[in-house]
Amino acid sequence: MPKKAGMEKWKKKRRQEYLEMKQYRYYIFCEGQQTEPLYFMGFKKLIEDNPIYKDMVLIEIEPCQAETMRVIGMAERYVKKNKIQKGQIWCVYDKDSFPADDFNGVVNRAENLNKESSQLQYHTAWSNECIEFWFLLHFAYYTANNHRGEYIAFLNDQFRELGIGKYQKNMKDIFDILTEKGNPKLAIRYAKRIINDGKSKTPAEIAPGTKVYELVEELVKYLPEHVAQRFKEACN
């Protein structure tokens, strides 16, 4: 066997052994390359530093630089290529100005894929219109159907009041800011209220709205207790 092929086989075997150690597996496919990955990286770092769960939980974050249906398409190809048979596949994506059929289509596609295996389940953590709506819920209950610019302006006002400058899409400490300066408990509560009020509507019709809180609730379970307390009341 050629040396390169032998090395690849060894790597695959080692990865399989590594995966088998992980009881809880999360594969997060983010629409963007900065904002969403940086936010969820905050969860990942804390969980990997938590001695209780670090050997039990796998979190892989994949920046997609894609939108709506392309995000779940990339997730499907990743699952097939890596022969993933167990875990949760999360698609994190925004409505922005993309067609309603494409935005709603991700949810429909996930539901169909979930019929194939109970061990491998797809989930949709969508935001209408954008992830910044989830961020601003850490500071206020907000139901005005505005565009990204207005949400960013709101965040800028909040950040200025906190003395931390302007909101930027590539903020490496966005998780820390929202968790320590904002109120994650209220963000989850507000997001749930909005979704419940629109329970008879499609995702594209719930404007504004977000289901990012569902992924957050999953990851909170593995955070160190002193951090998890900032989320927990709303998760129970």
- Contact by Cβ (8 Å): 30, 61: yes
Average pLDDT of 2-31? 70
Tens of pLDDT along 63-110? 999 999 999 999 999 999 999 999 999 999 999 999 999 999 999 999
Percent of the chain surpassing pLDDT 90 = 88
**pLDDT grade for 133, boundaries at 50, 70 and 90:** very high
pTM of the full predicted structure? 0.91
Distance, CA of 90 to CA of 205 (rounded, Å): 21
Average pLDDT of 47-72? 97
**pLDDT grade for 22, boundaries at 50, 70 and 90:** confident
The helix (H) or strand (E) run that includes residue 88 is strand 87-94
Segments making up each domain of the chain, as ranges: 24-229
Q: Is the pLDDT of residue 146 over 80?
A: yes
131 phi, psi to nearest 5 deg: -60, -25
Average pLDDT of 107-121? 98
Across all residues in the chain, what is the average pLDDT?
92
- Which residue stretches of 51-147 are H helix? 68-81, 100-113, 131-136
Q: Which of 221, 223, 220 is nearest to 187 (CA)?
A: 220
166 phi, psi to nearest 5 deg: -100, 155
pLDDT at 232: 83
143 phi, psi to nearest 5 deg: -125, 5
Distance, CA of 127 to CA of 105 (rounded, Å): 14
Tens of pLDDT along 176-208? 999 999 999 999 999 999 999 999 999 999 999
CA distances from 175 to 60, 134, 234 (A): 17, 12, 18
pLDDT at 90: 98
